[in-house]
Structure 1
């Protein structure tokens, strides 16, 4: 196992005490805060980001509960509709939420038509960045929108190979990419993709487990931590496994 503290920048909490919405007929099995903490034992996780999934829609009750249980080294990434008030955004920020997610891959979030307005507003109101679950095959069309936003991250190395070069252009301009979900992505050479991102911008790659790997053909493996560390090399491992995410989520650590 890699000898570094780990910030898990992408995982889900699925607590059946709170509302769940079928996503294309799919409802995940329970994966509570307790399940998560048990699963990551021994991985060196010192903090992380709880990410709202398509099956949670706009529910905030589960997220507030999870963050209260996990404590201040963990943050939230939520989905909110465009009509969410500034006061509601500030309330979520006080609870530990630090980003809004746009799920363009599976739905369940605010739609593409609301991205520009909502992403700018949450940044203005609370300093949040915007996270995108998307397919790199769509980046040729999405690049102008993403490039104009204040702060952006992209999940799962973009899910597929970027054939138009947009991902690295966005990275060069400051977009952060998550090395997450190896068992769900269709990137032919994830190691090469990670190295290209680091070469373009050493601050632009962060790691996450993607636990509990809902719908992924191959779930997260503990060895994925070492996979990322080895791909980026010792010079960058600490930054990719923790420090870059601390900066993205404004946790005040270097």
Structure 2
């Protein structure tokens, strides 16, 4: 039985009053990476979770969507909910066609459950390879699940750190579905966008059917939220990485807020500033439309108009 418990000490609540962005998102823009947390009174967190978040339910997500000028969301199952996708599916259904979902499932998942998730709007599964968040790399589970979801046309979302790519890329490249990489593979920005580590990541993207999320500068930045060139432009040390991905793989890039920003203890980003970060990495209208509208629509709503 799950019981309510306080959030993990040091956890920061999501930014309560985000600023209005100065950058106007193109019509039909998609937030392709966000989450819902509970609320835990209705959707309890998993007993095996690595952290306990604050509540951040669908009502708050949809309010942020409307404030920022976002048209649609892709709601990614949060690790704190384990393989119980109820909160995510509830939010996707409540969006009335304006959301898709990414699930977490176990290797013994039944075909009937996968079909039910597909009917609800789920289009992929997510696997976490970040060492501090998992007990062991889930390669065996992913191999089994990839085989089960391939007939549905789903993709696999991968969360890992670039330093671990050398030992993982052979396995990733063998998977029978498209891949979507969270947060540019979490590069070490101190090593530079032209350095060997990030160049290796880009070569991996080039060789395989891989999409890349240009997301979470707040997680990657060393300089942090302090502005270097005016208060609307934080995280400038991450800009060269995002810009390189957008320039080299413009038809396979996605963007998202990562709201409610899981497991942050240093600072909580202002989602309005995250929107204003976008023109720094996608510098013209064509790049912006592909990143924010055309690409996510092609992946998540194929055949539909934005």
TM-score (norm 2): 0.76
Hey, what does 1:89 align to over in structure 2? 114
Unaligned ranges ≥5, structure 2? 1-21, 189-195, 224-236
Does residue 1:219 correspond to 2:268, yes or no?
A: yes
- 3-state DSSP class of the match of 1:8? strand
- Verify: 1:127 aligned to 2:178, yes or no: no
Secondary structure of the corresponding residue to residue 20 of structure 1 = coil
Rounded Cα–Cα distance in structure 1 between residues aligned with 2:64 and 2:136: 27
CA spacing shift, 1:163–1:23, aligned 2, 3 Å: farther
Displacement of 1:135 after TM fit?
0.8
Partner of 2:215: 180
Q: Deviations over 1:104-162 (max 9, x none)?
A: 122399922222331232122x1110001111111111111222222001111212237
Which deviates more, 209-218 or 223-232? 223-232
Distance 1:193 1:22, change over 3 A: farther
Shift of 1:24: 6.1
Structure 1, 243-252 or 100-109: larger mean CA deviation: 100-109
Does structure 2 retain, via aligned residues, the 8 Å contact 1:46–1:73? yes
Q: Which fold has the larger relative contact order, with Cα–Cα distance below 8 Å and residues 6 or more apart in sequence?
A: 2
**2:226 paired residue number:** none
Report the CA distance between 1:199 and its aligned residue: 2.7
**How do 1:17-166 and structure 2 match up within 5 A?**
17-21=42-46, 26-105=51-130, 106-107=133-134, 111-124=138-151, 126-149=152-175, 150-161=177-188, 163=197, 165-166=199-200
Contact 1:212–1:219 (CA<8 Å) still a contact in 2?
no
Q: Partners in 2 of 1:179 and 1:220 — Cα distance?
A: 16
CA–CA distance in 2 between the matches of 1:49 and 1:114? 23
Which residue of 1 is the match for residue 251 of structure 2? 203
Q: What's the RMSD between the two structures over aligned residues?
A: 2.3
Of residues 110-119 and 203-212 in structure 1, the stretch that sits farther from structure 2 once superposed is 110-119
Which consecutive segments of 4 or more residues in structure 1 shift more than 4 A?
22-25
Q: Report how far residue 237 of structure 1 moved.
A: 0.7
Specify whether residues 164 and 223 from structure 1 end up closer, same or farther in structure 2 by C-alpha distance, changes over 3 A only: closer
Q: 2:299 aligned to 241, 248, 252, which one?
A: 248
Residues 128 and 50 of structure 1: CA distance in aligned 2, closer, same or farther (over 3 Å): same
Give how far 1:164 is off. 6.1
Is contact 2:48-2:82 (8 Å) kept? no
Contact kept, 8 Å, 1:11 with 1:51, in 2: the verdict is: yes
CA distance in 1, matches of 2:135, 2:145: 15
Distance across 2 between alignment mates of 1:115 and 1:18: 25
Alignment coverage as a number of residue pairs: 253
CA distance in 1, matches of 2:219, 2:283: 24
